[in-house]
Structures are given as C-alpha cells and as structure tokens.
Amino acid sequence: MTNPEVAIFMLGIFILFILLGFPIAFTLMAMGVIFGFYYYYDPAQANPLLDNRVYDLLVQKTFGVMSSDVLVAIPLFLFMGYLVERANIVDKLFFSLYIAAKRLPGSLAIAALLTCALFATATGIVGAVVTLMGILAFPIMLKARYNPSFAAGTICAGGCLGILIPPSIMLIVYGQTAGVSVVQLYAGALIPGFMLAFLYVIYVLIRVAINPEIAPQPREEDLPKLSAAQTLWLIATSFLPLAFLIFAVLGAIMTGWAVPSEAAALGAGGALALAMAYRSLTWERLKESVYLTARTSAMVCWLFVGSGVFSSVFSLLGGEEVVKEFVVGLNLSPIMFLILAQIIIFLLGWPLEWSEIIIIFIPIFLPLLPIFGIDPLFFGILVALNLQTSFLTPPMAMSAFYLKGIAPPGITLNQIFAGIVPYVFIVFFAMAMIYIFPGLVHWLPNYFYGR
C-alpha cells in the first residue's frame, strides 16, 4: 500500500466506525494515533514502540486546543444560553409576541418563529430552543386547532436558527477550524440569519392565507383582556431585558470593544443577573447550567483534539493531496464546486451532526477554496445555512427527535417530518439568494472592518 491509499483507507474505516455508533471524538483520536504510528514507525529507533512521534503530535494538538483563546468563548456562551433558558424569560417573550401579533394570520406560528429567532441569539443551542418551544408553544398551537404538522415544522425550523444567528457556537467552531475571524463571521451571518427568519415568517403568512384551516384565528374568548398600555408593558418587560443583553454582547464584538471570549463573559454575567432579577435562579438550576456547559464544552474540545490528530495524519499520508488532485481534475467552475461541496455537506448532515461535519470534513474543503477563488468567510456562511438541514432531514433530524420527545403521544415523526419539508426548501432558496447576492454576506464585514 502507498501512503495515499492508507489515508483513504483510514477515512473509510473512520466513517464505518461512526456509522456503527462509536464515539466520534475518541474514534478520531484512535484512528489518528494508530495510522500516525504506522507513518512515524522507525524500527531503527532504540524503542520504536514508545519513541514514536505520533505521541508528541497528540500532546501538541491537545495543548493547542486547551490554550486557544477563541474556544474560551464556547463554554461562556453555552453558560449564557443555559441560564437564559432557565430564567423564565422565553415564556413571557412568546406570550407578549403572540399578543402583539394576534390579528395576523398564523399569529401563534409567527410568535413562535420570532421567539425562536430572539432566543437563538441568546443561546445558539438548537436542542434547548426546540425543546423549550416545544414545551411552551406546541401545546398552545395544538389547543388553538393548528394543523399538527404545520405547528411542528414551524418550531423545528425556528429552533435551528441558532446555528446561524450570532452568537452561534457553530461559527466559533468554523472560525477556529478555518482560521477565519469569528468577529467577521458574526458580521457576515447577521443579515443571512435574520433573512432566513423573515423568509420563514413570509412562508407562514402565505401558507395560512392559502389554507386558513391549518392555523385558525384565535377566538375572542381565548384572548387575554389587556389594554394597550398593559400589552406594551408586557412586551417591554419580556423583550427589552433579553434584547439589551443580546445587543450588549453582539455590539461589544462588532465594534471591537471586546473579543468574543470577553463578550461571552459579559453575556454569561448578564444572563446570571437576568436570572436573579426574574427570581428564577436556584442552586439546582445553576448546578444544571454548569453541568450542561461542562459536558457540551468537553465534547467540542475533544472533537477538536481528535480532529487535529486525524487531519494531520491524513495530510501526512497524502490524503489531502489526493482529494485536491481529484477535485481539480474534474475541471469544475467555482459555482459547480460550490454546488458539489454543499451537496456533500447536505448528505453528510443525514448521519452526522454539525460539529462533526465542521471539525472533520470542512478541513478537506478548505485547501480547495483558494484554487476556485472562494472566500472562506462566504463559504462558512453557506455552510452554516446548509447545516440547518442537518437538524431537519432524516435519519438524524435531531430537531424532530427533540420535539417528538416532548410532544403529546398522538404526534408521530411522520407528521413532524411533513411539516419540516417546506422549511428545507426555504433554506435552499436562502442559499441561492446568498450566492446571487453575495453582498448579503460581505456588506457588514466590509462596513465594519473594511474587509
């Protein structure tokens, strides 16, 4: 076997193992160490079993991840999100937005989407948003005689907006992987993120206008009797605190007043203050938030360690060069390369989660971007849009499983999937808009940073 053949064999074995359900981070490390041992093995050494340089590679990659300033922002943003989730802000926010939109067609669905978009900016954790909105909004929508598929699709799609809308954890991971400024990624993602949320709302309005039976207008007796002043006060007390926290965090990042890790610390402190102000901070909730933060952060960090070792060995064996030569040999235009790359990422989203796709497979595409003249920031926003589908398409479709886990017994996965399908096509439409009008991505980074 030549070394490139060994590299392709290593990639194939890895894919087989993860499809069999092996832990991905530790499978990456195991594959990297085993095949790296083969690459570095020198029988002429005094002790070839213990003096192999692959052990130094493992230590270096681990130290590099643990000392990364960029990755410090991940546990802080996670802690901010888990605290906001437990501060009883979201239920008040949803209720106030519903009251404000009560005369619009599909008012509950619109309120759910807007709440998801705002909550996504505070947490970026898809599971938390879908689960909480499934508990909070889904029963109310069913009680209001909404079509179950329509209601389920709305919550699942809205809950995935946290992948794209800053402060997205995914964008931090992509920035670290691709060597792109997280600050500029956040600026580039703002317009596409809220554009996608706006497209979702437009879809709801059109769908309900065509078929009002799927989202009946609320009956007067079901609406709370609030004066205009009471409605404004309700919106102000539920919306303004969270909006101020989000504005402070993103504003600090965008203006350069703070790096992402410092802004994340500001957000975590603000979330703690909000939880105390709403008198919802208990020892149990604080302990839960810390535990969930530590667990998720550890998963991401070990993925980075495993991916670093795996990708280094894959490159040393010549696998990266084989992939590059194969793609260049296809004589693709930049648009065809982008389409091929996004199709591959879309298909990878069926069996894999976004973190594995970003950390393991995106590094394979990155060396090809300069060949086709593609900006890695622009590519990252397209990937972030595309990865919405990894939570919406089976067999993984984690957002559907999150909702199914807390939905009433009569709701089936098929009903949830049926409601999700239109939103997948809306994501594809948004990706096409980004390609046709790249200024949607580049305008804010150019304006703020002269990029």
Dump pLDDT digits (tens) for 329-362: 888 888 899 988 888 888 887 767 777 788 778 8
Q: State the average pLDDT for the chain.
A: 84
- Give residue-wise pLDDT tens across range 285-339: 888 888 888 888 888 788 888 888 888 888 888 877 787 788 878 888 888 999 8
Q: Which of 124-138, 334-348, 362-376 has the lowest mean pLDDT?
A: 124-138
Residues 102 and 136 in one domain: yes
Residues 76 and 60 in one domain: no
Question: Is residue 241 scored above 60 in pLDDT?
Answer: yes
Distance of CA 10 to the CA centre of its chain: 28
Instruction: Give me the mean pLDDT over the 88-105 stretch.
Output: 77
Residues 48 and 136 in one domain: no
Predicted confidence band of residue 413 (pLDDT cuts 50, 70, 90): confident
Decide if 31 contacts 312 (C-beta within 8 A): no
Question: Is residue 377 scored above 60 in pLDDT?
Answer: yes
Q: How far is CA 291 from CA 75, 265, 296, in A?
A: 11, 17, 9
Q: Which of 26-30, 117-121, 147-151, 192-196 has the lowest mean pLDDT?
A: 117-121
Q: In the prediction, which pLDDT does 407 show?
A: 85
Predicted confidence band of residue 424 (pLDDT cuts 50, 70, 90): very high
399 within some domain = no
Q: In the prediction, which pLDDT does 451 show?
A: 64
The range of the structural domain enclosing residue 241 comes to 70-281+441-449
Decide if 122 contacts 84 (C-beta within 8 A): yes
Instruction: Give me the mean pLDDT over the 268-279 stretch.
Output: 86
59 within some domain = yes
Predicted confidence band of residue 225 (pLDDT cuts 50, 70, 90): low
Q: In the prediction, which pLDDT does 426 show?
A: 95
Predicted confidence band of residue 396 (pLDDT cuts 50, 70, 90): low
Question: Is residue 204 scored above 90 in pLDDT?
Answer: yes
Residues 137 and 274 in one domain: yes
Domain count, the chain: 2
Residues 117 and 44 in one domain: no
Q: In the prediction, which pLDDT does 218 show?
A: 72
205 within some domain = yes
Tell me how crowded residue 73 is: count the other CB atoms within 10 A of its CB: 25
Residue among 400, 377, 402, 390 nearest 427 (CA): 390
Question: Is residue 1 scored above 60 in pLDDT?
Answer: no
Tell me how crowded residue 272 is: count the other CB atoms within 10 A of its CB: 18
Q: In the prediction, which pLDDT does 223 show?
A: 61
Question: Is residue 380 scored above 70 in pLDDT?
Answer: yes
198 within some domain = yes
Q: In the prediction, which pLDDT does 240 show?
A: 78
As a three-state string, the secondary structure of the chain is: CCHHHHHHHHHHHHHHHHHCCCCHHHHHHHHHHHHHHHHHCCCCCCCCCCCCCHHHHHHHHHHHHHCCCHHHHHHHHHHHHHHHHCCCHHHHHHHHHHHHCCCCCCHHHHHHHHHHHHHHHHHCCHHHHHHHHHHHCHHHHHHCCCCHHHHHHHHHHHHHHHHCCCCCHHHHHHHHHHCCCHHHHHHHHHHHHHHHHHHHHHHHHHHHHHCHHHCCCCCHHHCCCCCHHHHHHHHHHHHHHHHHHHHHHHHHHHCCCCCHHHHHHHHHHHHHHHHHHCCCCCHHHHHHHHHHHHHHHHHHHHHHHHHHHHHHHHHHCCHHHHHHHHHHHCCCCHHHHHHHHHHHHHHHCCCCCHHHHHHHHHHHHHHHHHHHCCCHHHHHHHHHHHHHHHHCCCCCCHHHHHHHHHCCCCCCHHHHHHHHHHHHHHHHHHHHHHHHCCHHHHHHHHHHHCC
Q: In the prediction, which pLDDT does 375 show?
A: 93
Predicted confidence band of residue 383 (pLDDT cuts 50, 70, 90): very high
Predicted confidence band of residue 2 (pLDDT cuts 50, 70, 90): low
403 within some domain = no
132 within some domain = yes
CA-CA distance, 241 to 261, in Å (whole number)?
A: 21
Residues 161 and 26 in one domain: no
Instruction: Give me the mean pLDDT over the 425-435 stretch.
Output: 93
Question: Is residue 412 scored above 80 in pLDDT?
Answer: yes
240 within some domain = yes
Instruction: Give me the mean pLDDT over the 81-85 stretch.
Output: 79
Q: Which of 64-68, 86-90, 270-274 has the lowest mean pLDDT?
A: 86-90
CA-CA distance, 305 to 293, in Å (whole number)?
A: 18
Residues 91 and 33 in one domain: no
Residues 307 and 272 in one domain: no
Q: In the prediction, which pLDDT does 267 show?
A: 87
CA-CA distance, 54 to 109, in Å (whole number)?
A: 53
Residues 255 and 273 in one domain: yes
CA-CA distance, 116 to 162, in Å (whole number)?
A: 8
Predicted confidence band of residue 219 (pLDDT cuts 50, 70, 90): low
Relative orientation angle of helices 107-123 and 182-210, to the nearest 10 degrees? 170
CA-CA distance, 283 to 448, in Å (whole number)?
A: 41
Residues 53 and 76 in one domain: no
- Give residue-wise pLDDT tens across range 245-264: 888 888 888 887 888 888 88
Predicted confidence band of residue 191 (pLDDT cuts 50, 70, 90): very high
Q: In the prediction, which pLDDT does 440 show?
A: 94
Question: Is residue 274 scored above 90 in pLDDT?
Answer: no
Which has the higher per-residue pLDDT, 349 or 54? 54
Q: In the prediction, which pLDDT does 434 show?
A: 93
Q: 23 burial class (0-12, 13-18, 19+ CB within 10 angstroms)? A: middle
CA-CA distance, 105 to 98, in Å (whole number)?
A: 11
Residues 264 and 122 in one domain: yes
- Quote the percentage of the chain above a pLDDT of 90: 18
Residues 181 and 214 in one domain: yes
Instruction: Give me the mean pLDDT over the 167-181 stretch.
Output: 86
Predicted confidence band of residue 152 (pLDDT cuts 50, 70, 90): very high
Q: pTM for this one?
A: 0.83
375 within some domain = no
